[in-house]
Amino acid sequence: MPTIKIKPKLNINATLKVPGDKSITHRSVIFAGLAQGHCTVYDYLDGDDCRRTIEAFRQCGIEIKKDKTQLYIEGKGLNGLKAPEIPINAGNSGTTIRLLSGVFAGQNFETEMFGDASLSKRPMKRVMEPLGLMGVKIQAANSQYPPLKITGNPDLKPITYNLPIASAQVKSAVLLAGLQAHGKTTVIEPGLSRDHTERLLEYFGAKIKYKNNIVTVEGKAELKAKDIYVPGDFSSAAFFIAAGLLAKKSKIKIENVGLNEGRTGFLKALETMGAKIKIENFKIVCNEPVGDIVAEVSSLKGITLDTALVPQLIDEIPLLVLIASQAQGKTVIKGAGELRVKESDRIKAISSELKKMGAVITELEDGFIVDGPVKLHGAIVESYDDHRIAMTTAIAGLCADGETEINNSECVDISFPNFWELIEKI
Ligand code: S3P
Contacts of 356 (CB under 8 A, 6+ apart): 379, 380, 381
Is CATH 3.65.10.10 the classification given to domain 3-20+231-425?
yes
With 0-12 CB in 10 A as exposed, 13-18 as middle and 19+ as buried, what is 211? exposed
CA dist 60 and 29 (Å) reads 12
pTM here is 0.97
| Cα(60) to centroid(ligand 1), Å | 24
Residue nearest to atom 10 of ligand 1 (CA): 315
**How high is the pLDDT of residue 1?**
60
- Any bridge partners for residue 211, and if so which? 214
Q: Does the beta carbon of 314 lie inside 6 Å of ligand 1?
A: yes
Closest Cα to residue 75, out of 60, 56, 59, 62? 62
Q: What DSSP assignment string belongs to 83-146?
A: --SS-EE-TT-HHHHHHHHHHHHTSSSEEEEE--TTGGGS--HHHHHHHHHTT-EEEEETTTEE
**How high is the pLDDT of residue 10?**
81
CA dist 340 and 365 (Å) reads 9
Give mean pLDDT in consecutive 10-residue pieces for the chain, a chain of 426 residues: 88 95 98 98 98 98 97 97 98 98 98 98 98 98 95 97 97 98 97 98 98 96 97 98 93 97 98 97 98 96 98 98 98 98 98 98 98 97 97 97 96 96 92
Q: Which atom of ligand 1 is nearest to the CA of 99?
A: 12
With 0-12 CB in 10 A as exposed, 13-18 as middle and 19+ as buried, what is 202? middle
**How high is the pLDDT of residue 249?**
87
Output DSSP code: residue 158: P
CB atoms within 10 A of CB 170: 26
CB atoms within 10 A of CB 274: 14
Q: Phi then psi for 238, rounded to 5 degrees?
A: -55, -35
| Cα(250) to centroid(ligand 1), Å | 31
One fold for both 3-20+231-425 and 22-229?
Answer: yes
Residue nearest to atom 4 of ligand 1 (CA): 315
Architecture of domain 22-229: Alpha-beta prism (3.65)
Q: Check if the beta carbon of residue 150 is closer than 8 Å to that of residue 136.
A: yes
Q: Check if the beta carbon of residue 8 is closer than 8 Å to that of residue 400.
A: yes
How far from 39 is each of 35, 223, 233, 276, 292, CA to CA, in Å?
Answer: 9, 12, 20, 39, 26
Sheet of strand 70-76, all strands in order from the earlier edge strand to the far edge: 63-66, 70-76, 36-42, 228-229
- Any bridge partners for residue 382, and if so which? 407
Q: Check if the beta carbon of residue 187 is closer than 8 Å to that of residue 201.
A: no
Contacts of 425 (CB under 8 A, 6+ apart): 14, 16
* Rg, the chain, Cα only: 21
Is the bond leading into 373 cis (omega within 30 degrees of zero)?
A: yes
Closest Cα to residue 95, out of 113, 111, 117? 113
Substitution candidate for ligand 1 out of 263, 314, 386 with most atoms within 8 A of CB: 314
Helix (H) and strand (E) counts in the chain: 12, 22
With 0-12 CB in 10 A as exposed, 13-18 as middle and 19+ as buried, what is 2? exposed
Q: Does the beta carbon of 197 lie inside 6 Å of ligand 1?
A: no
Q: Does the beta carbon of 169 lie inside 6 Å of ligand 1?
A: yes
Enumerate the domain spans of the chain: 3-20+231-425, 22-229
Q: What DSSP assignment string belongs to 375-407?
A: --B--EEE-TT-HHHHHHHHHHHHTSBS-EEEE
Residue type, 31: F
Residue nearest to atom 13 of ligand 1 (CA): 167
The torsion angle over the Cα atoms of residues 203, 41, 26 and 148, rounded to 10 degrees, is: 100
Closest Cα to residue 389, out of 271, 239, 255? 239
Closest Cα to residue 145, out of 178, 109, 104, 97? 97
Percent composition of the chain: helix, strand, coil (DSSP 3-state, to 5): 35, 30, 35
CB atoms within 10 A of CB 229: 17
Buried b (16+ CB within 10 A) or exposed e, 66-89: eeeeebebbbbebeebeebeeebb
| Cα(412) to centroid(ligand 1), Å | 17
